[in-house]
Every structure is written in structure tokens, then in C-alpha cells.
Structure 1
Amino acid sequence: MPTPDRLPAPSARRIEAVRNFNRFYTRRIGVLSEGLLHSEFTLTESRLLWELAHAESVTASELARRLDLDAGYLSRLLRGFGRRGLVKRTRSKGDGREVLLDLTAAGRRAFASLNARSEEEVGAMLAALPDGQQDHLIHSLSTIERLLDDAKGRAARAPYLLRAHQPGDIGWVVSRHGAIYAQEYRWDLTFEALVARIAADFIDRFEPSREACWIAERDGVNVGCVFLVQWRDEATQQPVEGVAQLRMLLVEPAARGLGIGARLVRECSRFARQAGYRSIRLWTNSVLTAARGIYQKEGYRLVASEPHRSFGQDLVGEIWELTLA
């Protein structure tokens, strides 16, 4: 089974959807007003106050790095805070060249007032929603933060787990295969129908000692899957002794780059060895270069290929095989 593994280019519709959300949310939380939360502080000033309140004795360069602000712009903001008596400067005892910044008593009072208003406004916004919708909103915000976080080091901050399939997973497998392959490769509904038949056969014939499914889950959301089943003779549908088949490997676009695909393939190899299989075979298509790279790294070798017309496209089908020690 082929595996999409390249990041799709964003469509104009998706770009506009994000821009619409940005316009809605900035208006909803009052960012467009002259002063945030009906205060004397702009959004940037409020964020700077928050950083100073949560970091004792910090340098201007550290603030610039945390807030991703131009050093000159930050310097003007800090001078303004100084004139208003909100910030004090002291020389570092460890390094006399460093100037450390702290909020004054007036600065801490200003932050406390602003923070209380923010908590009150967010509390009122959440209170307008039923409990279940509040949970859904918080989960959605967490997802946005995770997806839009900087890519550097993201893999180390993005744990996932592998688990066995449970009710609801098979429907997800079929649905996501159909949607992702249509979006990324323009495959038609006949592919989704094929996946549905394969998934139904897996449930009907499932032998836990010889077959398995792994679902990759991240933050409570399914992000990948793979199946290992007994290879069957095409004509008789009888299992071929000692040969397993890797099927329906899939990784969600948002979860790519974390090594999930390679991990799923390794789990298949581990399980097959323990179950006593001599080899694993899989069927894929030549256009799926990233997936083929995963198979090659695992030790699979190409044993057969044949052009075919399927899923509304001209393709080259391939059979790969891994010999198990």
C-alpha cells in the first residue's frame, strides 16, 4: 500500500481561511483598540510587561530574542517604560558590561491590573460556552500552537504513542486514506473503496498472533497507522506460509518529519520476526518516493514492478520484500 509523505502546497482557499481567522480573532480579543483591555498599554507593551514580570533581572538582548523584536524598537519601548517609572536598570554583579532590567513597584502594579483584566475577559469569553465546547476550544488552541510552533527542535517537543486499534480507528483509516490521496495525488474514490475492503478484511480475518495494527496518536489525535497481515494468494485468498504483508501505512501531513513512518515500519518488522515470518512483502507505487525511501532504509528491496491504470491515474505498481533474519 502506498504512503503519502510529501508536504502539500497550501491552496489559496486555505491561505484565505487563515487570514479570515486572524482578522476575526484580533477583533475578538480587542487587539485593534488603541489600548489593550481598555488600558494605556499597546499589545506589544503588554507582552513586554508580561516578560518582565515573569523573568527577574533580564537583559534587553534576552528580551529581544524572546519576543523576536527589533533591538531599536525594544530600546524605545524600554525608554518609555523608564520615563513612566515602570522599569529600573542595574549593573550585573557578575559582568559589569551587562545592564539588568526589572519592573519597579509601579510596574508590578500595572502588570497586576492588566493581568486581572485579561483573566476576567477570557473567563467571560469561556463562560459563554458550554463545558464541552470549552474543552474543544482549548484542544483546538493547543493544536494551533503546536502546528505553528517553530520547526527547529519541534520533534523533541512532540511526543507520540503507538497503540493497537480500537473502535472508530478503522473508519478513520479509510476516511483519511481517501482524503489525503485525493488531495495529494488526485486519486479517485476507487482508491478509498479499495482501502475500505482491505480494512474490512482485516477485521473479519484478524488473527492477533499473526496480524497487527498500530495507530500513532499525538495529543489524543490519530496521526498515523500501519497494518501487518498474512500475505494471501491472489487467486485463492489462502495465507502464504511464512510471508507477511505490510499494508495501509499512512502519516498525517501535520505529523510528518517526526519519524513516525519509519517507526511504524520498524514495528512491523519486529512483530513479524516474533511471529515467525520469514519475510514481509508490500505493494506500493513508484510515485511515492518518500515512502519508498523508508522501505529502503528498513532493508526492503524491489522485486517486481508493473504499469497499471488505477484510481484514475497511470501508475507503476511495485512489490518490495524484506527478508527477515
Structure 2
Amino acid sequence: MNQLQLSAGDERTRGLHRFAMLTAGATFCLIFVGGLVTSTGSALAVPDWPLAFGKLIPAWEGGIRFEFGHRVAAGTVVILTLVLMAWAWRTEPRRWVRKLVVLAFLLIVVQAVLGGITVLFELPLAIAVAHAATAQALLCLMVSIAIFTNPRWSTTPHVDDPPSRIQLPALAAATTAVIYLQILVGALMRHMSAGLVIPDFPLSFGYLVPPYWDQYIAVNFAHRCGAVVVTAMILWTVARVLRTHREVGALRRPAIGLFVLLIIQIGLGAFTIWSEREVLPTTSHVAVGAAVLATSLTLTLRAYRILAAPPRAHAIESHAGSRVIERQVTA
């Protein structure tokens, strides 16, 4: 009987985890569609909000396809997040995870409002960048929820981290923060229409450093310098994982994925300039940047779970979670 109870509880937990993964995937797709809106210059193709030309569904033509498609994708993520929140409050025994899902729902509401303000006030720079920032933060929250609801999260064994001046969890967290800041600089550059003010790559007007400056060149060059910093941080993090924890698959897999995504992202950034911002490479550059952030966050959370938490804490949380699930099933 106890085994049946635990199996039922595990199945409910797996269901929540799968739905959280679906919601995280939909959030990633939303970022891709949002990138399409910017890449195609369709941000004001629908000039009103929340309606579209005074209708629920406008004519599906031109830039309207991208802008209204972005709204449909956003509405889908809102619904999925609302369902996820209700599901988590019904079946998730950990209060902090339930609160995290509520925070995600509140954030996507803020994201929708910022999107509406962006349209109504015709793309104010600060609001447009804030809209991009909250989109990436929402993706991070969704990925975190998907990780925390994985049944294996509570049973992950602890591994000792070799002594170092900067421990792997802290290094991975710093890398994730740097990636997030780089994405924000990229968003600022896109919304300032400064993506091609430096028309060559890897040089800048034929020099390592631009020979003249204005605010647009400064933002563009800052994004390039940020890419160098991100590359260095990712290589440092990946090398640390492969050198000290190659045998830990939960760390090795996201580390290798992070390295592969970095190579793809650098190639897309270069091709975006060489192609003079063609839609597909430009949008893919935005999407892969989000994937780099999500993968780095995954590595960070797993590093803290596996390396930073003492084994006793794992056992206590796992046992407590199982007892709560068993009581819910019994009830």
C-alpha cells in the first residue's frame, strides 16, 4: 500500500514537472517570436492594445502577422502559467516552489503590461528594454521551476567540490549574471537600431577599437566587448566542470551544451552583421542567447544543489517531501 501511495505521488510530481517543461518551452518560443517582431520591424504594425485595429483578430497580413502572432504566443504563455500555478498549488508540497510559480505568473502579467505600454507609447526605449529584460527573467523563472519540480531534484546526491578560490556554484552564478547583462546590452542595441552602426566584424571600421564614437557606436562596441567577457566566463566555467566533475553527468551535460551554444551564438552574431541583419540569423541570435542563459542557469542550480548543499539537507528535504506527498494521497 505504501509503495502504491508513493508511486501515485511520484506520478503527480512527474506530471507537474512535464507541464512546467512545456511552459518553459513555450516561454522560449515567445522570446523567439518577440525577436521576429524586432527583426522584421513589425513592433508597431498593430498600433493599438489590447485590441488589434479595434478587433480581437485583425487581418493576417504583412507585419501584422508577426506582431499579432507575438500577442497570441504571449496569451498562450499566460494561460499555461495560470494552469501551472493552479496545478502547483494543488499538488506541490513545497511552499517556496508554489510561491515561485506565483511570482512567474505575476511577472508575465507585468511583461504583458510592458508590451502594451511599448505599443501605446510607440516604443519608448526604456520600456522596450524593460520588456526584453522581463522576458529573459521570466524564462529563467520557468526553467528554474521545471528544474525544481523534477522528481530527481530532491534525491540528487551530494558531491565534494575541490578547494578553490572561487567555487563552481559561485563561478556558474557569476557567468549566468554576465550573460543576462550581455543580453540586456543586446536588447538596448536592437531597440536603438544600432546593430549595424559598426558594419564589419570582427574588426570595427577596420580597427580593433572604433576610431570615432557616438552613443550608437558605444552601445554596439559594448555589446562586442560583452561577448568577449561572456566567452571568457563560459570557457572558464566549462573548463572547471570538465576538469573537476567530468564524472557528474548532471554537471557535464549542461557544461558541454553551454560550450556548443556559445560557438553557435558567436557564429550567428558574425553572420548577423555579414548578412546585414537578415531576419533568420538575427532572430536566431536572440533565441540562442536566451538558450545560453537558460543552460547556464541550469548548470548554476545543479551546481548549488550537488556541490553546495550538505548531504543531510538532501536527505531531510527528500524525506519530508515524500511524507507530505504520502499524506496528500492518503487524504
Q: Structure with the greater relative contact order (CA < 8 A, sep ≥ 6): 1 or 2? A: 2
Higher helix share: 2
Larger radius of gyration, structure 1 or 2? Answer: 1
TM-score range, shorter chain: under 0.3
**Higher strand share goes to which structure?**
1
Q: TM-score, normalised by structure 2?
A: 0.23
